[in-house]
Amino acid sequence: MKKIVPLILLLAVISPILPLFGQQNSDPAASIINHYAARNFVPGAMNKADLDLIVQAGIRAPSASNRQPWHFTVVQDQNLAKQLVSNITDGNVLIVVSASGDGKTNGSQILDCALAVESIYLAAQALGYGSRIYTGPMNTLNSRYKADLGLPGGYSAVALVRVGKVQPGVDAVSAASGRKGADSLVTYK
């Protein structure tokens, strides 16, 4: 008993700041519901095993007829990353998802890539990282950076996911914006 009381007191004191030491979400449903597009990345290298797992999440995404039409380019080179996303934070990794064609016209291929993008985005957050999807840089990327990124011949980038460290404590200012209500979006028959 003598040993337990100080332990309980210690836990009571440190529990509010535990999230600052990293946060993983082991509940997949909570990751899906609570995600937000990170705005405030902080400098710091990603763990290589985590990065591999995040890329695997993209590789494991479902696709029409299981065609798996995608290619994943993992940009760790900070100079190259900065040319694609100007406000890059040290240690951010960009995962570019590309597919054959112009990246715009093939319906199911775009949907397949979107699912891979979403899986990468959510896996990163489930592992305690911040992530944000970008399509804004795609025109520049496809017109100027295909060779630098080593995209397979005839492929175009569809989207990229920026992944990196975040300070869990800043959720209050960067958590997800509101969503439309189910009453205006869902019809039950």
Ligand X SMILES: Cc1cc2nc3c(=O)[nH]c(=O)nc-3n(C[C@H](O)[C@H](O)[C@H](O)COP(=O)(O)O)c2cc1C
Based on the shown chain and the rule CB under 6 A, indicate whether residue 129 belongs to the binding site for ligand X: no
| Closer by beta carbon to ligand X, 68 or else 135 | 135
Neighbours of 155 (CB within 10 A): 22
Q: How far is the CB of 16 from ligand X (least distance, A)?
A: 24
Q: Residue 135, interface with ligand X (CB under 6 A)? A: yes
Cα R_g (the chain), whole angstroms: 19
Q: Which is nearer to ligand X, 99 or 159 (CB)?
A: 159
126: three-class secondary structure by DSSP:
helix
Strands 130-134 and 155-164: antiparallel
- Based on the shown chain and the rule CB under 6 A, indicate whether residue 41 belongs to the binding site for ligand X: no
133 lines the binding site for ligand X (CB under 6 A): yes
What mask of x and - would describe binding to ligand X in positions 49 to 78, judged by CB under 6 A? ------------------------------
Candidate list 177, 182, 186, 188; residue touching ligand X; CB under 6 A: 177
Interatomic CA distance for residues 116 and 63, integer angstroms: 9
| DSSP strand pairing (93-100 vs 70-75) | antiparallel
Per-residue interface string for the shown chain with ligand X, residues 79-108, x marking contact by CB under 6 A: ------------------------------
Which residues is 163 bridged to in the sheet? Answer: 93, 131
Helix, strand, coil share (%) of the chain residues, nearest 5: 50, 15, 35
Task: List contacts with ligand X (CB under 6 A).
Answer: 36-37, 132-136, 159, 176-177
